[in-house]
Structure 1
């Protein structure tokens, strides 16, 4: 397993940080380890060098002794004094340094050595080094672990001749012994130095780690939420650089957290709390510290006609209007708080969120778009909330001066009360929204309490009906019916009003009264109106292709007119279907026309130029201004059926109808009477100059195929003026429908 040791070392290194958590301890151990490692390396190098020195010393000693023996041997070999030479060699060997000293006289084949056990008379084997020295005439050396052997030629310097050869064998010291001596000495030195260095290292490590500890402590303080903790930025070393970088990072984090908090809880345009901030504030203050419900009112505010400001003056001016409205709301609420005994800053109108269990306090927030909300402590009688709601309506309806432009909006306010109208935030806000829509349906610019709204108007059946209507528009379940318009003089069919019908898969054929209100509230009226217009123009083109030229009137709602692209959509439908623009009439209710005459004028101008005519529907129910009527591009009045039904019994209705007809004549308008059901009503209208009538007296709304048959039969019948209207109606195919 060759990889096992390295794997074990790697695991050991990985475990070290868990065993040694202190940075100072790690630093000291690191220094000590490095010192020991360097000491081992140093000892190894010293051992190697000492061994080399000892080897060179042994060779030098052997060479010196060999040279001495060679010089001593010259006279003795010349004179053949072998005995004296033998004695001198024995004395040299007796010193203990030389293991063997030997001289060879090749002339007589005599070997003289320092060994007392042998004699020059003995026949001794010639040493290989001696033979090599004689053959080569130069020094020969051989080393082993325990000795150094050197053979030198013995030269007669006077005669420059080789007399023989000398051999010297010198003992070497044991390498193990030398190493033990070296290691022992160096280990003692290393331990002494280590004992001295460790305390010094601890001291320097403590000084080195101290600023890091300070920086670590600061980091813990910052992580606990205190972003104002001091950093050791005065240092000029790397710690100072790190501290400054850390300080800059914390400053950036602090700035980003403030920005994130603003994005999460503050509306960027009005600087009011946003929807989430309002939800958290309301939820936190729902109950007191004893678990009892805090009675709190939520006022849901939706600006009336704000879309007109955006469309007419641009979103920049629209945002400026929202800021001014927010300022008005804050100012009014602060005034209410001061009057109620609270200081201006006591209620968190746009401050921090309320803590759980805190006493209920006021807050104004922008929920989005042109919607605002106010949470306000409420008494049992709700008198203060009623007064506040009325003040809010009056406050917002005052004209605003923005960028030298005068703008005016209203406010529809819905109010729900916790815990009376719901047991949680979602229910309270939903019910306040419902009450706001109820206020808007009655004309807007007023407040409505949820307790005043009819309970069945927002029942689950209505919700299901809205969902079914969405599906109906996708599945093409919407159809149309036609109610004829009859000329009061000629008794000819001069047009028809197009009415929507819904072929519901479960409830059968539904009239507009069953679903128009739901469509208006859910904004499905735009798609519904567009579909009805398409069907009407397609049928009108079909009749035109078959010889029936019939003007058609189609109702349009304020939501359709306010929708961007309304004009383009109408013209596109005419172009796609090929229905002539001069045969199309669009009906707008009087209330819608008078509520926003400028918007009506803007939307209708290109349509009028294309040839489309316009009618004021339900005339007499609104508050028309003659000045506006002269400016608006209408071609006819449709007298509301409520006045027609009262002609027989109410003289005021007769006076109103006469006045409308007279005014229409003076303005050169056509007059259409809706809901004509009796012959007396018809005769009165014709006698006073009404030009056109429609109602059950002639026919009920009918599908296109029935309308064709009815119109052919109606043209052949006697005039209502000369016959019995009741008989005529009973004979009509459509009367039985």
Structure 2
């Protein structure tokens, strides 16, 4: 009910806001209301003053008539001519100005009045006011709502002796009648003035408000995106000051919009349009109605051998090289007769799509060493081949950067819209696949998407490679966590971070679906870095929740071969805030034995920082005791192939016991992988294995499910003190 009432009130307020009159109407209404108020005040004041004047007039008339009667009565009272005096008083009363006139002779006790129906012989009561005036010898006044009575002493002209008294009664006017007359007269005057003034007010109101109206219209144009709308800055009044302030504000907004546009749509390194601008230009081509039945090409360009430039000379040289390449690409498009530009421009909205802008070609830097080109109005492949040839030639001449001659090549993949895809994502994906096909064919060439060998395994690997690159650029990769537990207590003592791919079409993919491709193409380095960052960030989040969970992360041979690997790991720990002693890096036995010197050299600074190392899949390689003693490892992870045979093969049990004995001798911790049955757990516990992981305890889970699982498992939190593992450094995992 309350909600309904509130909604009704809001609706009423919205209606009132919609019905709110304009500024000119409100100005006229204000002037009219002020005029009416002033008219009412004026009429009220005038009524009061006129009523006071009428009162004063009545008193003045009473005084004048009373003085006249006093002078007139003197000779008559001296000579006792009462009859003549009575006739004169009747004539005065007949004028209508006075109601009653009395003259009293106290010597003879005779009262002469103005009433023709009476005479001075009649017995008439004498007014006390008249007697008081004769007694004190001064004029007396009595005011009543309906009349004013004044009594005057009548004095002899010579001696000034009081001969008698005169009483005059003058009627007072009706106040209501007087006020009504005054209001009626003044209301007519006010109405006439209002009718005359309203057109004048409208005229002057329009002239006064016209600059404000123009300023408002300009503000609406600016809000609609027209920053070139003129302001009336030539005025010297307050409107001019406001207009200049608005103009300065719009100039600042224009500058900020230009900067925002640059940040949003321009690549900061090359100065070319960026990925978002490229996508917007593609959308503009689709939205222009003149191009709806036309084809256009999208070329995905990847630089060959660019990584060597960064590795050999540093990223500063790489950035300068990208700038030069962008310039040459633009010149190549011009040489092909293709005007280049980009649809997204500052201060322009999507509805402003125009044909002349949209039909331009566009070259953009999509990220890293990847570029893209859009060619509109493509009807024949020869045009695409010609442009690709010019782009290839553009980079054939070595680039001279700070005195060094640098050479790169280009692998170009092309997809035609709408033949090879109906939207931006599909076109870019297929152009990417075509580019990788060109790169695998030797590079420095063009390959159309429909030329790609899309049969069987070759196509699948190309598709996986292209999609994996997209996944690494986006947020499709995630990390799952499989718990490690104490064999004896089932207490959680850590977790292994395992990568998963949230593929937009194929769903959640395990590493087996893409790790081989990542290893083959060199993407495993970027993949490993991403997993490490995600795992350390999640570990820091658990620490903030007062959960200390040591994490293990797998490391590939390509990562170990990177000279910057140790620095990158320490940088990741610093950025995420995850403590080094809670991180364990896992290296497979095969990788470790392939080049022990590299492993030893790379792991040194990391171990000094407190990071642990584990030898993964132990027992499947060809380790020697001499090498094992030299390698800087802290943990053996017994391969699951031995664990699965526990209880079935006495040989597997003997191997596991041997590994445990050797680990104890070398002060290594041991983790048994792939534990799936209670029998396997019991055997491991009986032969002294401290830690295990496998489906028996928990499958790999994402972070949220892992947190919930921790709440419900027998041991609710990771250990906070003690190790629960065998071997050396029993407290290394527990310190916070």
Q: TM-score, normalised by structure 2?
A: 0.58
Alignment of 1:463-502 (within 5 A): 474-475=481-482
Q: Is the 8 A contact 2:89 2:113 kept in 1?
A: yes
Q: Is structure 2 residue 330 aligned with structure 1 residue 330?
A: yes
Who is 1:294 aligned against? 295
Pairing 1:364–2:366 present: no
* Per-residue deviation, 1:557: 0.9
**Equivalent-residue separation in structure 2 for 1:192 and 1:81 (angstroms):** 60
- Could you tell me how far apart the structure 1 residues matched to 2:105 and 2:607 are? 151
Instruction: Please give the alpha-carbon distance, in whole angstroms, between the structure 2 residues aligned to 1:268 and 1:350.
Output: 18
Go from structure 1 to structure 2 and tell me whether the alpha carbon gap of 1:192 and 1:98 turns closer, same or farther (over 3 Å shift): same
Distance 1:604 1:364, change over 3 A: farther
Q: How far has the Cα of 1:115 moved from its partner?
A: 1.9
Once structures 1 and 2 are overlaid, which stretch shifts more, 243-252 or 703-712?
Answer: 703-712
1:365-408: CA deviations, max 9, x gaps?
11233321122469898566567556645644765444566656
The SS at the match of 1:299 is strand
Corresponding position of 2:460? 456
Give the CA deviation at 1:301.
Answer: 2.2
Matched pairs, number: 542
What SS class does the counterpart of residue 557 from structure 1 fall into?
helix
Contact 1:129/1:151 (8 A) holds in 2: yes
Q: Is 1:111 paired with 2:114?
A: no
Partner in structure 1 of residue 50 of structure 2: 50
Work out whether 1:204 is the aligned partner of 2:224: no
Cα distance change on mapping 1:463 and 1:293 into 2, 3 Å: same
CA shift for structure 1 position 278: 1.8
Distance in 2 between the 1:511 and 1:210 partners? 71
Q: Does the C-alpha gap of structure 1 residues 73 and 419 become closer, same or farther in structure 2, counting only changes over 3 Å?
A: closer
Report SS of the residue matched to 1:50. Answer: helix
SS of alignment partner, residue 99 of structure 2:
strand
* Distance change in 2, residues 1:392/1:137 (3 Å): same
The DSSP-based 3-state class of the residue aligned with 2:100 is: strand
Aligned to 1:556: 557
The 8 Å contact of residues 302 and 411 in structure 2, kept in 1 or not, is answered as yes
Is the Cα–Cα contact under 8 Å of residues 285 and 358 in structure 1 kept in the other structure?
no
Following TM superposition, by how much is the alpha carbon of 1:65 offset from its aligned partner in structure 2, in angstroms?
Answer: 2.2
Question: Structure 2 stretches of 5 or more lacking a match?
Answer: 1-11, 485-497, 500-509, 534-554, 574-578, 609-620, 623-638, 644-650, 660-736
Residue matched to 2:432: 433
Q: In 2 relative to 1, CA 270–461 (structure 1 residues): closer, same or farther, beyond 3 Å?
A: closer
Normalised by the length of structure 1, the TM-score is 0.57
RMSD: 5.7
Contact 2:269 2:319 in 1 (8 A): yes
**CA–CA distance in structure 2, aligned partners of residues 260 and 329 of structure 1:** 25
Shift of 1:177: 5.3
Q: How far apart in 1 are the matches of 2:377 and 2:401?
A: 34
Post-superposition offset of 1:430: 1.1
Contact 2:130 2:166 in 1 (8 A): yes
> Is the contact made by 1:556 and 1:587 (CA closer than 8 Å) also made in structure 2?
no
Deviation (angstroms), 1:84: 4.6
Conserved? CA contact 2:301–2:410, under 8 Å: no
Alignment gaps of 5+ in structure 1: 1-10, 478-500, 503-509, 532-553, 590-599, 613-673, 676-699, 714-737
How far is 1:86 from its partner?
A: 3.2
Whole-Å Cα distance in 2 between the matches of residues 320 and 57 of structure 1? 105
Check conservation: 1:304, 1:445, Cα contact below 8 A.
no
Q: 1:84 to 1:376 in 2, by over 3 A?
A: closer
Task: Determine the structure 2 residue equivalent to 1:526.
Answer: 528
The answer on 1:422 being equivalent to 2:421 is yes
Greater Rg by CA: 1
Residue matched to 1:152: 152
Distance 1:313 1:586 in 2: 31
